[in-house]
Amino acid sequence: MGGLAVVHEEIITRTYCAPRCSVAYLWKIFAFLASLIIPLLICIVTQGLWKKTNTYLEQPRIEYAHKSFFLVADSSNATAYCFWSSYQELNDADSDHLVMPIIESQEIDRDNDGKADEILISATLHTQNLTFPVNNVFFYLLFNVNLEYRSVYKMELPIMGYIEHLTEAPEVSIFGDMRVKSTEPLPSHGWFDISERIPEPEDGTTLFGNGTDAAEVDASLIQLFPLDLLPS
């Protein structure tokens, strides 16, 4: 400023007045409240302004889809078996070995949060007229899995098992925890479609786990069957 010094400074302001029942006064109140509420909402929705990554714990909602496949057999004889499934293609493939079961399922919610903590499934196959010993059991169960807290995630989760005993077993009980391992983190919000992340098989087959949906599980089960289900 060329060696000059400030000897006096005066701030000039303009004051606008309005009645308390006017639109201008109501807008002032609204703007003040919005300046307080909007930052709080942003903090709640984003789980923090500065967090880039975080871990969220959520118990998935798991439901038995009432789709299943059961087989009992003699492991020493590939033609000695009987089965039942909820898939018509499998039932029509070998109706001579088809038996009618009694299937009961129960969901137990121990903490009353609306989500099942334990699922009990009992399957009884009528094998009184069988002419072979049963020492081989194959089972397939389908469950619906949903996540709803951060991102909407839905999938069908199969559980398959193959049990073989050296001697005849009239009853088999299986207990365990259902665990799913994701190969990549789920998105923090929005809809997650698992079918878009799974590549289709190059040869066009329907091997289970390669984009196979519930409508195509029939053919997949035939391919994974431990014995020769289809007649030669």
Under the banding of pLDDT at 50, 70 and 90, the label for residue 215 is very low
**How confident is the model over 29-39, as pLDDT tens digits?**
999 999 999 98
Cα–Cα distance, 55 to 92 (Å, whole number): 47
Tell whether the model's pLDDT for residue 196 goes beyond 80. Answer: no
Cα–Cα distance, 113 to 34 (Å, whole number): 34
Question: In the numeric block, which tokens belong to residue 195?
Answer: 């079918």
Question: What predicted TM-score, i.e. pTM, was given to this entire model?
Answer: 0.61
- Using CA atoms, how far residue 200 sits from 26, 70, 196, 224, in Å, is 59, 28, 10, 18
What is the domain partition of the chain in residue ranges? Answer: 61-224
Cα–Cα distance, 13 to 54 (Å, whole number): 48
pLDDT reported for residue 219: 46
